[in-house]
Amino acid sequence: MTNPVLLVEDELFIALDVQATIEAAGFEVEGPCMTLVEAQAAVARHGAAFAAAVLDVRLADGTVFPAADQLHAAGVPLIFHSGHADDEALRERYPQAMVCPKPSAPAALSEAIRRSAAANGSDTEQHAAG
């Protein structure tokens, strides 16, 4: 059993679509977390036990950065999936993070998740066919 992928997205239909993409890639999903408060609660519950995290930047109750900082410090690979992100600023703050702007093709997002999970040492053999 691999660690789940944390999904933080406040737009319901996008969250459901991204959740389906993550599951089709062969991973379980923690979330979707729709607020920063929910995201931080998930991080508190699971710590670094995530294969990766797919994060929207702007949430209903603020930006995702406090949770992203916790995940980054714990070594969880970050994938920013946002239409309101400054790529340069994200890459400066989180040099190892991947940025998949909205809208992203499901195949591109799946590949980013697989690569992040592999870099994190998650068992990805079972995900190769996904």
Q: Over the stretch 99-110, which tens digit does the pLDDT of each residue have?
A: 998 888 999 999
Per-residue pLDDT, 112: 94
Whether 122 maps to a domain, the answer reads no
Residue type, 129: A
Read off the pLDDT of residues 22-54 as tens digits, 9 standing for 90 and up: 999 999 999 999 999 999 999 999 988 999 999
Is-contact 65 73, C-beta < 8 A?
no
- Specify if 39 maps to a domain: yes
Q: Are 53 and 79 spatial neighbours (Cβ–Cβ below 8 Å)?
A: yes
What does the pLDDT read at residue 122? 62
pLDDT-derived band of residue 126, with 50, 70 and 90 as boundaries?
very low
76 within some domain: yes
Task: Judge whether 115 lies within some domain.
Answer: no
Residue 105 within a domain: no
Whole-model pTM: value is: 0.90
Each residue's pLDDT tens digit, 46-88: 988 999 999 999 999 999 999 999 999 999 999 999 887 788 8
The answer to the question of residue 118 being in a domain is no
Higher pLDDT, 125 or 82: 82
Q: Which domain holds residue 53?
A: 9-27+34-85
Q: Is 79 helix (H, G, I), strand (E, B) or coil?
A: strand
Looking up tokens 């093709």 gives 105
> In sequence order, which residues have a C-beta less than 8 Å from that of residue 59 and are 6 or more positions away?
8, 10, 34, 35, 36, 39
Domain membership of residue 64 (yes or no) is: yes
Specify the number of domains making up the chain.
1
